[in-house]
């Protein structure tokens, strides 16, 4: 998922991703309840045939269902954790586009102001102060240009982080959809008591598949994040590099 080109689109994309994930999380419990109701129905039918056998089997089924319910709750909690961590990203979007759209244009425009002396009639400035400024204006221009590069890189990094977060939420939603569909399918296909434990095992396997897929997606997202942090570190190195400044300091037109 490429970064959006404007703040409204970026926020809309992230909001859509969070809403979709929330919707799928909220589907888990009601679909699980339908699955349990279907099990209760087939168990009730079996009790008419062999009450004692059905009672003994129901204890085994209850244990399996309790274990399954715990696994489903853990899966839902894991997804909610990722969902809650997405909330602060909206602030990153705002800050990133502020850097790119509000700060960067004015800051980058200052480069020419510092470099070009004729538009401001500074070429007519004489004396020691004029000579001092002429010597240092290139340093000022480079300093502003370097700062502008930092603002650009930082702003873009924040936007990239937001895009990565939105993509991560979209990607982990699909395994969750597959899990919910496995619960629905288990309830639909369950027709006799013979298939109860098998249906429970199938959903348990779907939970494992879901969490395994999320883990792989998280690994890819982490790799991308490391690459992004490396890029930001390089930008930070530029910011801390004072070699473009005379005597290692931000250049002043006149020393007091």
Instruction: Identify the DSSP state of 246.
Output: G
Task: Give me the pLDDT at residue 33, please.
Answer: 93
pLDDT of residue 71: 93
At 160, list the tokens: 């990239």
The pLDDT value recorded for residue 149 is: 79
CA distances from 161 to 50, 165, 201 (A): 60, 6, 38
- Predicted pLDDT of residue 255: 46
Find where tokens 């909330």 sit.
87
CA pseudo-torsion sign 191, 194, 197, 201 = negative
Separation between Cα atoms, residue 249 and residue 256, nearest integer Å:
14
H/E run at residue 197: helix 196-240
Q: What parts of the chain have a pLDDT lower than 50?
A: 254-256
Rg over alpha carbons for the chain, rounded to the nearest Å, is 31
| Residue 179: partners with Cβ closer than 8 Å, 6 or more residues away | 28, 75, 203, 206, 207, 209, 210
Check residue 86 and give its pLDDT.
77
Specify the pLDDT at position 254: 46
- What is the residue extent of each domain of the chain? 7-248
Residue ranges of alpha helices (H) inside the chain are 7-49, 51-85, 89-98, 104-115, 127-189, 196-240
């Amino acid at each position: 998922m490429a970064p959006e080109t404007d703040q409204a689109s970026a926020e809309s994309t992230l909001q859509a991703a969070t809403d979709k994930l929330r919707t799928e999380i909220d589907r888990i419990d009601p679909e699980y309840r339908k699955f349990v109701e279907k099990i209760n129905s087939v168990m009730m039918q079996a009790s008419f045939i062999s009450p004692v056998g059905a009672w003994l089997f129901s204890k085994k089924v209850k244990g399996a269902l309790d274990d399954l319910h715990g696994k489903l709750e853990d899966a839902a909690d894991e997804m909610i954790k990722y969902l809650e961590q997405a909330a602060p990203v909206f602030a990153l979007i705002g800050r990133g586009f502020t850097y790119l759209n509000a700060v960067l244009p004015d800051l980058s425009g200052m480069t020419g102001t510092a470099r070009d002396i004729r538009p401001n009639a500074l070429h007519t400035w004489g004396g020691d102060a004029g000579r001092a400024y002429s010597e240092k204006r290139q340093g000022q221009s480079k300093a502003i240009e370097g700062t502008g590069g930092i603002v650009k890189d930082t702003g873009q990094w924040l936007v990239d982080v937001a895009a990565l977060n939105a993509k991560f939420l979209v990607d982990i939603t699909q395994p969750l959809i597959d899990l919910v569909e496995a619960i629905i399918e288990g309830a639909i296909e369950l027709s006799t008591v013979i298939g109860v434990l098998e249906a429970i095992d199938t959903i348990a396997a779907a939970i494992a598949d879901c969490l395994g897929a999320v883990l792989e997606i998280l690994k890819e997202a982490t790799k991308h994040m490391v690459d992004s942090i490396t890029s930001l570190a390089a930008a930070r190195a530029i910011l801390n590099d004072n070699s473009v400044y005379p005597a290692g300091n931000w250049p002043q037109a006149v020393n007091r």
